[in-house]
Chains A and B, each alone.
Chain A
Amino acid sequence: MRATQRRRPPSRNLLSAIDPDRLRQLATSVSYVGSVEHKDTPSFAGRPPRPRPDATLCDRALADSRDQLTAWLRTAIAKGAIGGPWEGEFPRYAWYKTGNTVYETRLVNRVQGTYKGYGLLPDEWPKDIETYYE
């Protein structure tokens, strides 16, 4: 038996020990773009909407809330509520909690640092995510 030399962070687990300065800088370079398959109304993600039959649909109240969603994404990253793998300079996942809902944002362009997002079921929340939003 021989130990593997390969190391990589577990997927979709909260990363730890990230330099706060790095997080703050990272947060300024990301933005939320959404994706049309999660929209059933015209939105900043694209017109016309193209809702797919098995895609989680976005809250219609957020259809024109790109700035708010970008702010949520940047808050999540600044707090370090992020998960691997790293893709270029950006974490693939970031999580924002508001009320009793956790949204997972997912990197869709590793050059531009743009993300889309969707809600999670409670048992899909990353372990200990609540501690980032107390």
Chain B
Amino acid sequence: MSELCFDLEWERVDGSRGDELAATWARLSIRVDATTITRVNDYRSLGLRDRILIPLYPLAEWIATHWWSLLYEVQATGRDGYERRHNLRFGREGFALPDLFIKPTGERALIEWRALELPEARVGFSAGGTRDLELASIRDSLFDLIETLLARLDQEGVTDTGLHQEWRAIQAADEAEAAFCIAAARLGQDPYDLSEPEADAILAAANRLPVGWQDDFFDVANSNT
């Protein structure tokens, strides 16, 4: 079965500022089957390498912050900000990350990556490609990455970060709350950044629709109407 694999080797980096950043430096490779998405042209050493050396905290927090969208928001026309919610590059915080999309399509997801030049980092991700994977396997990979980061942070004595808080909230959601978060995500919304009228509108729509219709409705509905 094809999987999206995050493989990391922890590193110590002297002088790095920010406790959660300093604690999570690692050499990271991201692979799908035999394809290494993080293969870069290094313009300083004039070579190719498969791993990137970055603090992983920003990526892990970005994944957690966009958890519901990453796993449930189907790409729909007229939706603002889809790329920012589905492209891992938007979690890079000044470090190199590939232009890598996770696009759920139901019980599966399309992984899509594109070549990307980062001249200010003096690296370039040269390859592009797509893979169609089971959504459950992607979920497991992202879950494991976050759990690994949290364990590292705890081991390094960096506690109660934004990642800890976000993950606690996601894991604490029971079935009823998770259903709401999923519905909001399907609408292209952040379930933790809704006004009360917006939340009420989601609940009202869900109450009017047969359960079997709700996913399709929220996938295509425009939250502005």
Contacts and interface: CB of A to CB of B under 8 A. Distances in A.
Contacts of A54: 40, 52-54, 95-96, 121, 123
B203 interface: yes
A23 B192 CA distance: 25
A36 interface: yes
Contact of B193 (A7, A53, A106, A127): A7
A116 interface: yes
Interface string A95-131: 0000000001011110000101111000110010000
Interface residues of A, number: 39
B181 A56 contact: no
A108 B18 contact: yes
Interface residues of B, number: 51
Given A55-B121, A106-B93, 19 more contacts: A1-B179, A1-B206, A8-B165, A9-B193, A10-B65, A11-B62, A35-B18, A36-B15, A37-B16, A46-B15, A50-B14, A53-B53, A54-B123, A56-B118, A57-B122, A106-B94, A109-B18, A118-B93, A124-B89
Grouping DSSP codes into helix (H, G, I), strand (E, B) and loop, the B interface class, with mixed when no group exceeds half, is mixed
Residue among B15, B21, B44, B81 with most chain A CB within 10 A? B15
A10 B40 contact: no
Contacts of A38: 94
A130 B194 CA distance: 25
B120 A52 contact: no
A8 B166 CA distance: 10
B179 A56 contact: no
A90 B189 CA distance: 26
